[in-house]
Amino acid sequence: MTTKTIEHMLTINDLSQKELFGLIDEAIILKQQLKEGIPHHHLAGKSLGMIFEKSSTRTRVSFEVGMMQLGGHALFLNSNDLQLGRGESVADTAKVLSRYVDGIMIRTFAHEKIEEFASAATVPVINGLTDSHHPTQVLADLMTIYEYKQKLQGVNMVFVGDGNNNMTHSLIQGAVLAGMNMKVSSPPGFEPGEDVWKEAEEAAGRKGQILQFYADPAEAVKDADVIVTDVWTSMGQEKEAEERFTHFQPYQVNKELTSHAAPDYLFLHCLPAHREEEVTAEVIDGPHSVVFEEAENRLHAQKALLKKLMG
């Protein structure tokens, strides 16, 4: 088993399995301490710079509140607040901010941008979302599954929807890393990115895990322990919304589709959700849905990550 030490968190693959399980254990401890009113100021005097080139509800609030609860401070910076918006290089911005803060979280578009930023930074860099990956969300997802199933290894997870987006890529990586079985069901032309899939397929093969793609969502969700979906049109794809709706209608997560899953399946969605599009209200507001626990766990999982990287 790989025993590397985290420097940055740009993808889930920046973690070893031991680190992943350690972060989940720590997140559960921090969650319980918060509920019991036990102070845990592990980052007293530390500052996190938060760069937002994409807007957010959960990412901003969870990181900002998380730093406060850890005894530190978070600075919100959108692109208009930075010289990045006036042409300063990514590398120069990274070098300057590294002299002011103890860690940097970035939510941006191209994944290459955060890789360039991290290569120049001298403090830990966390990916709060790029077009290709969303590792902090999946860290919270895996924590949520573990809380309900009391295990990750051997759990059957299925993603239904757009296979070529940041959530799917990070879920694939996270599932393989955690020892889960993973299935993806998407319409033709929306399969997962080739590089992500090939790497995950090789890793899953070495470990004897299942990683499969299905065009038929009903076949994919058969006996699923966890069903995950996401919006059909992500930020920046608004002009494609009508065309995407046509492609994805057969992939709606509804009562009929979920009838093929295990009786105690969990439903996850990173939110925001569009009820009656990618998921029906009956499912997302039903007894199998854990989407709000999942959203809360962004706070706890990210606190564990911040403590690990900046403590």
Would you say 58 and 77 are in contact if contact means Cβ atoms under 8 Å apart? no
Q: Is the dihedral of CA 146, 273, 135, 160 positive or negative?
A: positive
**Looking at the structure, do residues 201 and 147 belong to the same domain, yes or no?**
yes
Which residues are paired to 184 by β-bridges? 159, 213
How big is the chain, counted in residues?
Answer: 311
**Looking at the structure, do residues 76 and 99 belong to the same domain, yes or no?**
yes
In sequence order, the 6+-apart residues with CB closer than 8 A to the CB of 210 are 156, 181, 182, 183, 204
In-domain check, residue 1: no
**Looking at the structure, do residues 98 and 229 belong to the same domain, yes or no?**
no
Q: Which residues are catalytic?
A: 107, 134, 137, 230, 270, 298
pLDDT of 1: 40
pLDDT of 63: 98
Residue of 119, 147, 134, 156 lying closest to 269 (CA atoms):
134
In-domain check, residue 31: yes
Report the 10 Å Cβ neighbour count for 245. 13
**Looking at the structure, do residues 250 and 303 belong to the same domain, yes or no?**
no
Domain of residue 305 covers: 12-134+297-310
Cα–Cα distance, 30 to 90 (Å, whole number): 34
**Looking at the structure, do residues 167 and 281 belong to the same domain, yes or no?**
yes
In-domain check, residue 23: yes
pLDDT of 81: 81
In-domain check, residue 147: yes
**Looking at the structure, do residues 104 and 249 belong to the same domain, yes or no?**
no
Strands 125-129 and 266-269: unpaired
- CATH no. for residue 192? 3.40.50.1370
Q: Is the peptide bond before 124 cis (omega within 30 degrees of 0)?
A: no
pLDDT of 2: 44
**Looking at the structure, do residues 24 and 166 belong to the same domain, yes or no?**
no
CA distances from 304 to 35, 85, 127, 189 (A): 15, 31, 15, 37
Which residues are paired to 258 by β-bridges? none
Residue stretches of the annotated binding site: 56-59, 83, 107, 134-137, 166, 230, 234-235, 270-271, 298
pLDDT tens for each residue of 179-226: 999 999 999 999 999 999 999 999 999 999 999 999 999 999 999 999
Cα–Cα distance, 274 to 244 (Å, whole number): 14
Cα–Cα distance, 20 to 39 (Å, whole number): 24
Would you say 274 and 245 are in contact if contact means Cβ atoms under 8 Å apart? no
Helices (H), the chain: 17-35, 58-69, 90-98, 111-120, 135-149, 166-178, 194-207, 217-220, 241-248, 255-258, 281-284, 291-310
**Looking at the structure, do residues 19 and 124 belong to the same domain, yes or no?**
yes
In sequence order, the 6+-apart residues with CB closer than 8 A to the CB of 24 are 139, 142, 143, 146, 301, 304
Cα–Cα distance, 233 to 165 (Å, whole number): 10
| Rounded to 5°, angle at Cα 284 from 281 and 287 | 110
In-domain check, residue 2: no
- Reading the chain (311 residues) residue by residue, the pLDDT tens digits are 445 577 999 999 999 999 999 999 999 999 999 999 999 999 999 999 999 999 899 999 999 999 999 999 999 999 888 887 578 999 999 999 999 999 999 999 999 999 999 999 999 999 999 999 999 999 999 999 999 999 999 999 999 999 999 999 999 999 999 999 999 999 999 999 999 999 999 999 999 999 999 999 999 999 999 999 999 987 677 878 888 999 999 999 999 999 999 999 999 999 999 999 999 999 999 999 999 999 999 999 999 999 999 99
**Looking at the structure, do residues 157 and 279 belong to the same domain, yes or no?**
yes
**Looking at the structure, do residues 216 and 112 belong to the same domain, yes or no?**
no
Which amino acid type is present at position 259? S
In-domain check, residue 229: yes
203-209: which pairs have CB atoms within 8 A and are 24 or more residues apart?
A: 203/176, 203/177, 204/176, 207/176, 207/179, 209/175, 209/176, 209/179, 209/180, 209/181, 209/182
In-domain check, residue 80: yes
**Number of domains within the chain:** 2
